[in-house]
Structure 1
Amino acid sequence: MNIRILNSREDLNATAAAVIAGLLLTKPQAMLGLATGSTPIGIYRHLADMYRKGQVSFARAYAVNLDEYVGLSQNHPQSYRNFMNEHLFRHIDIPIPHTHIPDGNANDLEAECAAHEQAILEHGPVDLQLLGIGHNGHIGFNEPGHSLTGYTHVVDLDERTRTANARFFGHIDAVPKQAVTMGVGTILKAKQIILVAFGADKADIIKRALTGPVTTACPASLLQCHPNVLILLDQEAGGWFH
């Protein structure tokens, strides 16, 4: 596990984007595992800027997302399909058929979960998986529990997760109570993982995930079992490491 403490959030974003771009330069057809939420927005901005400057192309790449809310149409302002379109896909040259995000509004969610796994099997394995971390240690929407599901599945969202995401919806009552998420088993099959965190409010959970026991009570702790994980932290999130 390689832990890097960057001087600023901007440095963190630029570093993560450079790793992703470097992969595409050596393997243009790479499959990227992408995340949503506030954490990766700056990374996607850097990637879009690198594309505009002709420094990287996504034309042969594939992208698979971690998760999607249940019950939101793909054009809903807070759907993760809409998020990816707005923050990355429409700013780069990736073919939309090469992008795979679960449809949380599908009539048969079990079949949708299976289709998401199949998309990864057909074009994967995931070469690089980008992750954030929740305040409760979740990765994707894999919430803490006595056990974890390995493959893409429907999950009930923890109230702390819903509260944290309420800022995007205006009120917690508008936040969906379920999501489709890649399982931890699927995440851990990625060849490389980048975990990004910033802010003092993430310091405690990062320390617990990286140095505490490996337990399903903190899903991110299972990253300790992966052979190729890059942890990118700003000074506030990594202050405990000094």
Structure 2
Amino acid sequence: MTEWRRWVAPLGWLALLLAACLGMAQLEGAFRWIEPDSRQVIYDRAAFLTLLGRHLTVVGVAAVLAILVGVGAAVAVTRERGRDFLPLVSQLASMGQTFPPVAVLALAVPVLGFGTLPIIVALLLYGLLPIVRNTLAGILGIDPAVREAARGMGMSGAQILRQVDLPLAAPVILAGIRTSVTINIATAAIGATVGASNLGDPIISGIVNGNTAYVVQGALLIGLLAISVDSLFARLTPTSAR
């Protein structure tokens, strides 16, 4: 029973998100109060559930790539042969987040064209820093005596990585992934400006047409999605790493 209660919050937020996607039209009266002079107050150019699926796909693909690149790079520079590159990797990851996603899109669109690919590139760069930083902190924070004990047991470098470093650093790494994904859920909305249809569509459409109701609808769903995902990670992350 206790284990089941841990999942009440994530499932509750997810249910609320799905209810909002499917029942947005039922809130027309409330949105009419926000935009009393608009002919239409419920965004209907695409189903909200469809936009949610596209949003999750973009964020999910970017997250998988960021995890592979970020964790892989951090692990490589914590090995004996790669330690000289540790400052370089840290600086490159920091630059990726300080570079505005809008600027990344502006540079990527002429090369990659309009659509989903440019926003995936932007989210990948923007989401690397928390993953790289936490992976480095997790691995470098392991007591050297633990590794020495593993070597004394005859473990190879690969075995120490798989059976000692990554398991012990996992809670800190997961916390970095949690931060990266949660940030990118909101950042992905700008993809609507380059033809990557997602939950940013109502927001951009609302801004262009001066319809605040559209903006609120998109922001509400993105907020619920971010809370749902963050709540899920909170249940997966040990208390000590939260």
TM (normalized to structure 1)?
A: 0.27
Higher percent of residues as strand: 1
Higher Rg? 2
TM (normalized to structure 2)?
A: 0.27
Greater relative contact order (Cα < 8 A, sep 6+): 2
